[in-house]
Each structure stands twice: as structure tokens, then as C-alpha cells.
Amino acid sequence: MASQCKSRSRITFTFQLLSTLVLGAGWIMLHIWMHGGAPLREWDVTENDIDGMADFGQRVMSYANTHWLYAWKLVWPMQLCHDWSMKCIPHVTSMLDVRNLRSVALYLVMSAAVALSLRMNSRRTILGLSLLIFPFLPAAQIAFPIGAILAERVLLLPSLGLCMLVGCGLSVMQGGSKSCVPRLVRLLVWVVVILWVFWGIHHSWWRCWDWYSERELFLSGIKVCPDGVKSLNNLAVLMLNKEEAASAGKLLDRALAVHENYSTAVYNRALAYLITGDHSSARKMFERALMLYPNDNKARVYLAHILLLLRQPIKHHPVEKEVDSGKFLTLAEHHIDGVGFRAYCFQTM
């Protein structure tokens, strides 16, 4: 009688699990079908440089490497960074790259864990694996690319799944008097788990201080990824003042050395030149910024400012049409006399 109830319970549970998977897959397919005619966003190289790789195999291997990095940071969250942008994670371009072994090992372990949990028919284990896997899938770059190579924030729910699996494993290991695990081994496992938990608490405490201010956050990001163009640019923005403009310019030069067409960094480099009084270099950078992003009205405003300072005519210059529209009256907030500037522009046209 007990075996029949157990068998019926297993059948019911299996049916519920399969129904959930089928309904979930159907919902995703319906969502994709409804948006089938909409083009996917093309991510900038600073947001997702793997998506821009021409070779499909290299893209797959590079994405697989990020999966392993996600798993490793879930277990051992060291070297954290708020933005893993361009050049932070080297691409995998060869089948002989040893990093492929890590990816394959991860997939084998996860497949074995799923198969074992289904065989055990343990709801707690399956729930833990579900929390570990399913919330991560949208960020896995499988169905479509996203604008983040490694987004640590998506590990929140998977971390709950990991904790559930660790708890289930400890529960099975204890097993009372029926446990087949030697007592010494159980003791060592408990010591490791307790040290792991306290280390996580300690590291979380210090990581909170990295988020205390934007400056500290960007500095911590540069320590982990020295060539992170976004971190370099964002830190430089905080330093765009008379005292730190020269240092900001050096940070922006580093960012542009990695990605020379990063329009935001070009624009901010021009601002750094303007603050330090190098108007000639600022003019060249603002013109370059407009070549990269022609609709940048702020760059047009500052370029017109510099042309005024250099006493150069604006007629036939790219900013001429903006002068006609009167948009440059807003230059007053940049310490320029808007009325005098407009009069000067009309005199030179």
C-alpha cells in the first residue's frame, strides 16, 4: 500500500514538473512569436563585445566561458566589479583554449545534478536547482544577446538555490545513525561550510563600502578591470573640475586607447581639454565627437563656445544651422553671454 502511494506521488510530481516546463516553454515561444517582426537591439561594443564577434563558434565558446565565471562567482565571489564591459573578459577564440575545459566541466556537473535530483525525486533538491538555473537563463545569452557580459546582480536568486542545495546536502550527509559518511568527514564539511559563510559575511561587509560612493565604486571597478572603458569614463566624469581635470584627461586617454570610437569618452575628453584651457585640442575633440554622434547638441554648444573663444568664424561650420535656430542662447549656463554670442555669430555669417 505504501509503495503504491509512493509511486502515485512520484507520478503526480513528475506530471506537475513536466506541465510546468511545457507551459513555461510555451509562454516563451508565444512571447517570441508575438515579437517576431521586431528587430533585436544591436548592442554597442562597450555593452556586449562578444555579440559583435564574427565567428559563431568563438561567440559560443566566449559565452560558455562567462557561464563558468558566473558559477565561480556564485561559489567564490571574489574580484567583483560593477561593470564587466569591453576588454574585461578576454574572448575565447580557439578550441584549444584551456578555458573550454572549465565550461565543459560546468555543463557536465549541472547535467549530473539535474539527473540525480530527478532520480531522487526530491522536491527540495529540484526547487533548489530551479532557483539556481531558471532565473539565470535570461542572462545566459542563449536565446538572444543582452547588454551585459557578466552581470553579478542576476546571481541573487541563483544564490538562494545554491544555499538550498547546500542545506539539502548537509541534511543528507548527517542522516543520523544511518549516515554512511564518516564522522570526521562530516566534521570537516561543517567546518568548511561555516568558514565559507563567515567569509561571505566579511566580504559582503567590505563590498558594501565599495558602493558607499560613486567614486569608490568606479575605483574598485578599475582595480578589477583596468581597461574597463565605462569605469574609466565614469570616474573621469566625477573629476571634471579645475583641480582634477588633468587626471580625468589621463583616464579618458586610457579609455580611448582601448576603444578609440567611444563617443562618450571623446566628448568628456574634449570637456577636460576645455577645463584645462587647451581650446585648440578641445575643438578637435568636439568635432570628433560630432563625427561619431552627429545629433549631440551638447557637443555643438561647446564647439560653438570654443569657436567664440578662438575668434573663428562659424559660417559654413557644422554648428551654423544650430546658430540659426537660436539654440545657443542656453550657453549662458556655461558662463557665456548668450546675447553677445548670438550677435557675434550673426556678425561672422
- Whole-Å CA distances, 297 to 102, 290, 303, 330, 338: 48, 9, 10, 11, 16
* Among 179, 150, 1, 147, CA closest to 70: 150
Is the pLDDT assigned to residue 141 strictly greater than 90?
no
The larger pLDDT score, comparing residue 9 to residue 294, is at 294
Helix 263-276 and helix 297-309, axial crossing angle in degrees, nearest 10: 30
Q: Which three cell numbers stand for residue 319?
A: 554648428
When pLDDT is cut at 50, 70 and 90, the band that residue 327 belongs to is: very low
Q: What is the pLDDT of residue 246?
A: 93
Most confident of 5-19, 251-265, 287-301: 251-265
- pLDDT above 90: residue 25: no
The structural domains of the chain, with segments of one domain joined by +, span 1-39, 42-197, 214-348
| pLDDT > 90? residue 67 | yes
Calpha distance 180→148 (Å, rounded): 45
What is the per-residue burial (b if ≥16 Cβ within 10 Å, else e) of 280-298?
ebbbebbbbbbeeeeebee
Confidence band of 6 (pLDDT split at 50, 70, 90): low
| Dmax (CA) of the chain | 101
Backbone angles phi, psi at 134, to 5 degrees: -65, -45
Mean pLDDT in residue range 310-318: 56
CATH topology of domain 214-348: 1.25.40
Give the number of other CB atoms < 10 A from CB of residue 102: 16
